Amino acid sequence: MNQGHVKIKANIQITAFYLFFIIHTMQIGAGIMGVPQIIYKESQNNAWISVLIAGVFLHLTIFVMISLLEQYKNADLFAIQKDVFGKWISRILGTFYILYILTVTSSIMLNYTEVVQVFIFPKMPSLQITFFLLFLATYAITGGFRVVVGSAYLFFFLTIWLVFSLYEPVRYIDWDHYLPVIQASPKELMMGAFKTTFSVLGLEVLLFVYPFISNKNKVPIVAHLAVLLTTILTFLVTFISIGYFSGPQLEGQIWPTLAMFKIIQFSILERFDFIAVAFWGFVILPNVILFIWLASYGAKRLYHVKQKHALYVIVLLLYAFTNIVEFRFSIDTLTDLSAKVGFYTVFVYPFLLLLIVLVKKKLTKSKGSGSN
């Protein structure tokens, strides 16, 4: 199928090498701060097994997404939907995708805002924190796609060292917390895997940046490596959290990943968790930048408006919305909504779309051979 070809100028294209940082930084953000507690509530001390199950499904989803994209010469999700469903239905579906992206972005910003207020600045208003995030995101996006990609690359290396700081909690692991090894039922393990959804949202970016990749033959290996690292990091924080906290303690921790930083101390720095929370801003910033870029780029593709104009409107809407939702219940509700919608949007829809595309391709070939 050659319909829906998306033309990208050579000076904007990137190599598949950078796709690794795009996918991984999109996945690691606000969700990993609290994912151990969320999974533990479903599969208890076998939560680490749920993470491994989720990891397998991540790789399967990447495989399906790449298979879908390879049915076309150089198309993104918007072009594929237009080819399959026609102009108007594809526009409705594309608009839904944009709304989903904005919902996830709002949830990420609200979760990080609450973390900053709890750990560092209790009296700092949400208006200031969200303004800071949106200002930096706008500045990066107006620099163009390459700057957006560069931010993911830069912030990855600025924050990856945080993983090694978990060496201290490892020293206090109680190995009895992992026994019995197989306690949860298959249903509980699958529910735990399902609950990782919010933490690993972001791999759908592949469906939009694919036309920007110059060496597409390298996309499969790079994309799988990105979700593999995401799985490893999610597994590590979950596994360590189970061993470090007792069951009731872990269930009572809203952000167990950040809570473990509290025991790390240096002679010149007593509260390392302050540093960790501050640097976590660099973890979630690529999320915000890339998601907003996706939303503004989507508006440009669907409605033929200037991306810069769409960007300003989106940023204003996000700023207004994130400062309306202030209560814990509302943030939890929004996060749960993002996770549930994200599950079907990211982990179910591509499978259905690939099936439809393959059926259409087969019918088109049959019709073509029949006319001869």
In a domain, 362, yes or no: no
Residue type, 154: L
pLDDT tens digits along 133-179: 999 999 999 999 999 999 999 999 998 888 888 888 998 899 998 98
Whole-prediction pTM value? 0.92
- Specify the CATH number for the domain of residue 158: 1.20.1740.10
Position 372 pLDDT exceeds 60: no
Task: State yes or no: pLDDT of 329 exceeds 60.
Answer: no
In this prediction, residue 1 carries a pLDDT of 46
38 in a structural domain: yes
Kindly report the backbone phi and psi dihedral angles of residue 183, in degrees, each rounded to the nearest multiple of 5, phi listed first: -115, -40
- pLDDT at residue 246 in the model: 87
Residue 237 counted as domain residue:
yes
pLDDT above 50 (res 96): yes
Residue 76 lies in a domain: yes
Q: Is pLDDT at 307 greater than 70 in this prediction?
A: yes
In a domain, residue 307? The reply is: yes
Specify if 284 maps to a domain. Answer: yes
Residues 6+ apart with CB under 8 A from 281: 112, 116, 133
- Beta bridge partner(s), residue 39: none
Q: What sign has the CA pseudo-torsion 227, 230, 234, 239?
A: positive
Range from 74-88, 210-224, 262-276 carrying the lowest mean pLDDT: 262-276
User: Two tokens at 324?
Assistant: 């309306």
> What is the residue range of 293's domain?
17-352
**184 belongs to a structural domain:** yes
Mean pLDDT, the chain, integer: 89
Residue identified by tokens 């594929």 is: 80
Is residue 5 within 8 A of residue 73, CB to CB? The reply is: yes
| The Cα angle at residue 182 between residues 253 and 255, in degrees rounded to 5 | 10
The DSSP letter of residue 185 is -
337-342-348-349 Cα dihedral, nearest 10 degrees: 110
Q: Which CA distances in Å does 28 have to 7, 23, 125? A: 30, 9, 25
Q: What is the largest CA-CA distance in the chain?
A: 81
Residue pair 219/63 in contact (Cβ under 8 Å)? The answer is no
Count structural domains, the chain.
1
Q: What are phi and psi of 144, to 5 degrees?
A: 105, 170
Of the ranges 19-33, 289-303, 354-368, which is most confident?
A: 289-303
C-alpha triplet 267, 270, 273: angle, nearest 5°: 130
Question: Could you tell me the two tokens for 83?
Answer: 């080819």
- Tokens of residue 74, six digits: 């150089």
119-133, 159-173, 305-319, 325-339: least confidently modelled range: 325-339
Fill in the amino acid letter for 49: I
